Structures are given as C-alpha cells and as structure tokens.
Amino acid sequence: MTRADFFLVNRSLQKLDLWLSETFTRGQAWVDLIGLTNYKDGYLRKNGKRVDLKRGQCGWSQAALAVRWKWSRGKVKRFFDELETEQQIEQLNSTICSITIIVNYDEYQLNGQGMEQLTGSSQTGDGQVTDTNKEVKEVKEVKEKELKPLGPTRPVFGYKPFFEIFWDHYPRRDGQRRGRKKTENQYRAIVTNEATAGAVLTAVGHYADSCGNYAKDAERWMRKGVWDEWLNPDIEVNNEEDQRLADKFSLITDAELKMLKGSQTVRNRMDFSLDEVLTIIAQRARRNG
C-alpha cells in the first residue's frame, strides 16, 4: 500500500451543509459510515451503561443513521445486510446497543505506523519522485496556521445543517409542522456541539417511530427534559406483547391517563386493561421521580 492509494479528507466535511443537505447516495453513506467510525479506542453510554468501542467500531444506531442519511429504516437495514454479505462490515447486536465493525478498517484509515510508512520518498504515477516528508511538513504548517487563534474569540457551533435534518424528520401533526422559528431558537440554545446534535437526531428517530399522529409541537419537544427522554425510551421491548404495549403507551397523554384510570368505560373504548394503565403510571412515576 502506497501513499498514492489515499487522499486525505478532514472529518469537518461531515458537518457541512454541502454534505448533509440532500439524501445520501450509497457511496456517500459508506464514506460517511467510515468517517463516523472510531479511529481510536473509546466508549459511549447507552441506558446509563458504558459500552466500550475499539478502533474500527461504530456505535451509531441504524435509526440515527436513517435520519442522518434521509433514508428509511428498512433501506438502512438492507444496506447493512448487503455490506455484511460482502464482508465489508460485521454487525454486533446486544441487549444494550448495536455496534458496526468496519472490516479491514486500516485499509481506509491509516494508523500511526501506516502514516510513518508513507512519509518517505515515493514515486507518482508519472514517475516523478516526491519528498512526502516535506509534503507532510507543509500540510502540518498550513493546519497550524489555520488553527492559530486570531484573538480571544468564543467558538461558535454550526448548528444549522443539523437543525435542517432535525426539522425535515420531525413528525408532522395533522399533516403540518408549526413554529419553525421558535423551534430553531430552542434548538440553538440546547445544541451547542456535535455530540448533542447527534443525540437529538437519535431521539427524534425514536420519537417519530412511536408518536403516530399525536406529535407534540416541535418547540415543546425540544425543551430539556422532553427530547432527552427519547434517547433511551423507558419501555423495554423484549417480545411481541411488550411491543404492542409500547406502541399504545407512547400515544397516551397524562390527561388521557387520568381518564383511563378513573373510567372503565373509557378503558374499554380505548382498549386498555386496568393492569396496563397501572403499569404506565408506575413507569412515568419512576421516570419523573
């Protein structure tokens, strides 16, 4: 493997509106997945538990990637299954989260040793000998110059591309979305870094799967203590029956819950048993306590 086999792309590309504004192609999704994969050992937290990630492993869920790539969940799954069949990735599923492993990750992302091997003299396709040590030094000097602060400035997070993705995927209420300006102001106040932006996209993916036609106004949903509930939905879905209850519970407001608790007639009309009502009351009490 020679230096000519690679071209360097800064990961900041993945934050640009140019990269995120349109539906991803399959090739773009593959490059994006490589860019989202850990280039060094790290970890994430899921349901309050630490999940260690090795170099070459990606902790993004398929739900979050569907939002990011503007794909359906089914399309993401089919894409991953195809990549796994072609031995490009491996998928590890657990009760906590899913992890995607990029097979032969070092072929796409050099480690420190690989960089050292490529920083000598090399020959280009037309036979011209280049001093790659000199080139690397020049690149380093340019980066240092670009990163040198001009003064005591406060870093500003470019939230706009992430908000556009969020707004496009927030579920409609009665076929409409209202309050874009207020929602954007609320979003900007909360989303101050890429990690939070990614968390919001994950949460809205979960919410969109569950709310049906009963979506909250987006500005209300973006308030702290509301959107972050959907990072890890409270109801653990372990089987078909749990899935059925989870779908029902996600649509019930607190006001409707009070009516269900006090009226057998209302429970019958809405197809709830008293045990189901008491279960969701207990779950919401634990969540709010």
CA distance 111 to 119: 13
The predicted pLDDT at position 145 comes to 47
Q: Are strands 49-53 and 89-93 parallel, antiparallel or unpaired?
A: unpaired
Mean pLDDT of 226-255: 61
CA distance 206 to 209: 5
- Exposed / middle / buried, residue 179 (Cβ in 10 Å: 0-12, 13-18, 19+): middle
Q: What is the pLDDT of residues 38-94, one digit of tens each?
A: 988 888 887 778 888 999 999 888 888 988 999 998 999 999 999 999 999 999 887
CA distance 7 to 217: 44
Architecture of the domain whose range is 3-107: Orthogonal Bundle (1.10)
CB-CB contact of 64 with 202 (8 Å): yes
Q: What counts of helices (H) and strands (E) characterise the chain?
A: 14, 7
With cut-offs at 50, 70 and 90, classify the pLDDT of residue 150.
very low
Token readout for 207 is 């919410």
Name, in order, each residue with C-beta under 8 angstroms of 128's C-beta and a sequence gap of 6 or more: none
Mean pLDDT of 247-270: 70
pTM (2 d.p.)? 0.44
